[in-house]
Structure formats: structure tokens, C-alpha cells
Amino acid sequence: MKSRIIGTGSYLPENIRTNYDLEKMVDTSHDWIVARTGIEERRIAAADQCTSDMGTIAAQRAMDMAGVTADDIDLIVMGTITGDYPWPATACLVQENLGAKKAFAYDVSAACSGF
């Protein structure tokens, strides 16, 4: 059995928080943050938006790119440490949202190394 990636998808929340925004909240500076992390901005989810919601949008975009349906999906792997709940795995919620009834689903909760 071989596996392959035939489509990719992503989703970023619309709300952007820059380092300059953080300068107004805490004692830091844009330059200090960039020098140590390389981060210039971060995206903030809406109050009513969960990790599974964002994962579902990204997965649907990947499926659209690949030209496949939920029935074609065999496996969903979700890399997150900010899941919706401790249990079930957020990948299972994405699986349900997509209607991927035949797919296995699990989370990789390994922080940065999860992706």
C-alpha cells in the first residue's frame, strides 16, 4: 500500500495581531520579537471558531484541489495542541464535519513538530 498527498489546503483566521499591537499590551517591541522568533504577526480565531472549524475548511480546500470527495479519504491526521476538547480527537470532529465516514482519524499533539 502506498500513500501520497494529492492536495493541500490551508486556512487562516481574518483577525491579525501584529507585534506592534503587542507593544501596546506588554513591555516588548516588534524588533525584539522578530529577532528572537522571526514572527511578525499572528492570526486570531473568532470567538465562535474552533480548531475543528478551521481544520474542516482547510481539509475541504485540499479535497477541492485534489478533486476528491469525503468518500475517497482514508485517513485524517490533525496536527494540533489546541484541540476543541481533550477527547475526542479534533481529527474525529473534522472527519464528521466532512462526512468522511470511511476515514481513520487521529491527532498528533506534538506542538511545532506536529506539522
Q: Are 81 and 89 in contact (CB under 8 A)?
A: no
Q: How far is CA 78 from the centre of its chain?
A: 7
Q: Does residue 91 share a domain with residue 68?
A: yes
- pLDDT tens-digit readout, 48-86: 999 999 999 999 999 999 999 999 999 999 999 999 999
Q: What is the arithmetic mean of pLDDT over 94-109?
A: 98
Is the confidence at residue 38, as pLDDT, over 90?
Answer: yes
Q: Does residue 106 share a domain with residue 59?
A: yes
Q: Does residue 74 share a domain with residue 26?
A: no
Domain that holds residue 32: 14-44
What percentage of the chain has pLDDT greater than the value 90? 90
Q: Does residue 108 share a domain with residue 56?
A: yes
Torsion angle, CA of 93/3/9/79, rounded to 10 degrees?
50
Q: What is the arithmetic mean of pLDDT over 2-22?
A: 95
Is the confidence at residue 18, as pLDDT, over 70?
Answer: yes
Q: How many domains does the chain have?
A: 2
Q: Average per-residue pLDDT in the chain? A: 95
pLDDT of residue 106: 97
Q: Does residue 113 share a domain with residue 93?
A: yes
